[in-house]
């Protein structure tokens, strides 16, 4: 079963997003797509996976219309594809698994063994400096990463002030207090 949802967003309706820039423009954070997909689901999610970003959506004070194609796969998985206005190029896509019975012990993530096996610990200051060098302009509301562990090609992030857990692509991230839900998810997705 497939259906289409539509909504509008601007810097007037979501002013906190002004802190999410890239090369002097404000772009819709990757976490926003996850947040929106989660809000459209009628069953609690077990896992968010296969998140891809193809075309950034640039924000201004004027409303931007976004279409969401929602496709129920019939097995507890729902696919979401986001499009800006009448554009036929997908801006982002993801899948939400509502059936946790398919998760194996190997797919579940524990941070302690990951940290113990890390080949490198990256300080948050170095992380954000590298992002700035690449053109990312995260304001204070989007700079919540306290530390990063690298283990091969995988990264784990510490957000301090542990309170609420979110699971993304097999990683269980614990996020900081006092943040808008979109900000919490965005700091999980930040990468260089």
Least Cα distance to 57 among 88, 94, 82 occurs for: 82
Digit-coded pLDDT (tens) for 3-42: 999 999 999 998 988 888 888 899 998 888 988 998 887 7
Digit-coded pLDDT (tens) for 99-147: 765 555 555 566 777 788 888 888 888 888 888 888 888 888 777 777 7
Tally of domains within the chain: 1
**pTM across the whole model:** 0.68
Q: For residue 180, what pLDDT is reported?
A: 42
CATH code of 90's domain: 3.10.129.110
Q: Are 20 and 26 in contact (CB under 8 A)?
A: yes
Domain span including residue 159: 2-189
């Amino acid at each position: 079963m497939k259906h289409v949802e539509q909504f509008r967003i601007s810097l007037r309706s979501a002013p906190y997003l002004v802190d999410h820039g890239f090369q002097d423009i404000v772009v819709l954070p990757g976490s926003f797509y996850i947040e929106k997909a989660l809000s459209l689901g009628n069953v609690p999610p077990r896992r968010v996976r296969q998140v891809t970003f193809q075309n950034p959506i640039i924000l201004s004070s004027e409303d931007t219309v976004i279409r969401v194609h929602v496709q129920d796969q019939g097995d507890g998985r729902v696919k979401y594809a986001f499009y800006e206005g009448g554009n036929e190029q997908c801006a982002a896509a993801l899948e939400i698994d509502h059936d946790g019975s398919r998760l194996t012990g190997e797919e579940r993530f524990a941070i302690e063994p990951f940290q113990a096996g890390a080949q490198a610990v990256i300080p948050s200051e170095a992380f954000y400096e590298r992002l700035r060098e690449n053109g990312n302009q995260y304001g204070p509301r989007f700079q919540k990463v306290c530390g990063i562990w690298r283990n091969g090609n995988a990264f784990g992030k510490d957000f301090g002030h542990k309170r609420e857990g979110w699971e993304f692509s097999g990683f269980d991230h614990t996020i900081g207090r006092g943040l808008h839900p979109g900000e919490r998810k965005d700091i999980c997705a930040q990468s260089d």
